[in-house]
Chain A
Amino acid sequence: MKKTKLLPYLLLLPSMIYLLLFFAYPMLESFQLAFRREGQFLNLRVEPQDEAAVVGTLALQTDVTVLERQRLEETLPNGRTRPFYWFRVEGLDTAGTTIEGWASQANLFIESRTESTTARVVGGESAREWTLDYVNRMLNDYRFGSALGTTILLVVLILPLQFILAIIMALVLQAQIRGSSLFLYIFAIPLGISDLASGIIWYSIFTQRGFLNSFLVGTGVLESPYIFIRVGNESWMIAAIVLAEVWRATSIVMVIVVSGLQALPRDYIEAGQVFGANLWQRLRYIILPLLKPSLQVALILRTILALQVFAVVVAIAGRDVLSVLAYETYRWYDPQRFNSPNMAAVYAGFIMLLSLGVSLFYLRAVRSEEEAAKLL
């Protein structure tokens, strides 16, 4: 009896451990990278002893006043002894308060151990400190604003197009025309296409010597190729990226919408038909409201993925031309470039926050709308 109660947990255990290891632990690590910095600090002690309690910490290079000194004997490995000093010092800590406590000669630069009344902190224990430096650096980075702006612009352009197209695709598949299984396969093909491949494909269309120019020049619309993708022509680059993303990632929305539609009893739609609703009215009053849960899932999923848009941008616009958040993350991380995992972690954390915020917003918006409807 006891065994069967434990069984589900045992079965779940490997997954839970794995997910903790690969989600929870990296999240912690990421947090550390983003907000903590390695540094050396001098711990001031209550008494002239290494194990004594810590009064406070002083940063390196802090100037201190020596208030009191104590001479101790230090035994060397060869058995001889030599004098070893501890000083009671006073100085300003990182927060700007004056603190006093004992520090050993090992961590202080002092001209004369017996005479000098001032010293400077030169050593201490290495420790991690909290810092907002990385965050500030990101916020002040000249590329941050444009990266955020471009990312949001892409999300705002891509998502509505995707949802409209996905709903049309789903309705076509639901119309039960002959050959709909073939259409289903074709519509589903992009599910397996990577963002990089999609980027390359649309690059082949939009590049200067690409298919679009070949077509436009070939049909005489243009006399010579138009350079869509170049610095200073952001709107065409963004258009190409939007097309590539809509082309590639609409299928997943379609799959979610179709499975939502399949779960709807056909009766609902037929009742709409019988009671005089045209296609648009059926969509507006019956299908979309009933599909809301599916659409919400798709919306959250697609927004989070669109916030990470990366390979498509690199493939179409090239490196460093058009900046998006995920590309910034990579740029800061890249060992051959900035080699700063800390900055990369800050950017990644920012993407995470955005994703979380958007998800909560969607969930909230849908709920409140329902509540409002109840009140009416």
Chain B
Amino acid sequence: MFDSVLVANRGEIARRIIRTVQRMGLRAIAVHSEADADLPFVTEADDAVLLGPAAPAQSYLDVDKVIAAARATGAQAVHPGYGFLAENASFARAVTEAGLVWIGPAPEAIERMGDKINARNMMESAGVPVAAGTREPVGALTEAVRAAERIGYPVMVKTAGGGGGIGMGVAHDEESLGKAFEQASRAAARFGGAQDGTSRAILLERYIERARHVEIQILGLADGTVVALGERDCSVQRRHQKVVEESPSPGITADLRERMLAAAVRAGEAVGYRGAGTVECLVDADAQDFVFLEMNTRLQVEHPVTELVTGLDLVEHQIRIAAGEVYALEARPGGHAIEFRVYAEDPKRFFPGPGKIDVWEEPSGEGVRVDSGYVAGNTVTPFYDPLMAKLCVHGATRDEAVARARTAVAAFKVEGPKNNLPFCAELLDDPEFVSGDYDTGLVSRMRKAR
């Protein structure tokens, strides 16, 4: 086992990784931008290196600076967290070439799964169900129109290399396809063009009307076996981005769960996956069927949900697997867990609301876990994503988890930045959410009903 880990990330996830690194008796090294100098992940680390100005390109995304920080501090391994460089194969290679241990899957696995068209075709060959859609990148609108006619409306238009819902749009007819195509093209040029030509490409897929977003957590062990650690239902979304996640999914049958877990293991084995990864699927709630969406080759924001039901520390397993430790693992999930993303955004329209935190009081108690990136006195700046904390609850049943969540949300006091805790409270009183029979259209229905 190596003796030190540099965490190439910020905020709540850097802090959460550092906690496990230190618990394992290893030295934790933080890297940070000027804007983040007084955040807890910097002060709690054993060592911290200033990378540069606030702009991610000059700090968290600067591969040379991160590698130099690792060298300067004598770090032996690098954990990328999620976002930033986590799914950047060149960064993974640069880490290895610098003689450091990369805590993540092989760069080849990142590359294969990073291009959604390639990933989709590969999954299909591995026997994982995929949605009807384009097999090749679509270059021009005329091609998109032909493809949409073949697939059948409605279609989902997305960028091959993008993530986080950026540029995604639904087209119900040729006219709306034109708009969605233009939007995706703009997003691809802006956000997805950094790596290579293929990531600028557009992809069309059959759109499922009453869909749930359900993903499977996998762990590729050092001996090559892949285990599935259960699912997370991430159907509570605004602007195609997740707000609340829960496990087990209240919307799938035991039979569907079994099929999904088996497919996720096949997906992981097909790429020779090592470490923590997530196989994202779309579930047709009415048909109780599923299709592969994409595979995220990293730790996921919502991984605590899986940790709460399995009792495993996923970061610890990432580290042990990266260190080459060989062991068997069996997951026996129990109880029900729900995570709420506490965003610095207004709870009605979900527009960003950065600002200085005057009051920050986290809830605690039985079955309550809070992963936060801030304390009172810190400032949430506009340079990074709006996630301030993750409020997670665990209970023996979904009802118990929901009840604990209500108490915890009410006890969470944040003053300063706008925040979505009022939305979380609203959701916990929404009959559709409480029933468990909801889909990805839930949040927009809640906003239209007002």
State yes or no: do A and B come from one complex: no
Residues of B that sit less than 8 Å from A by CB: none
Residues of A that sit less than 8 Å from B by CB: none
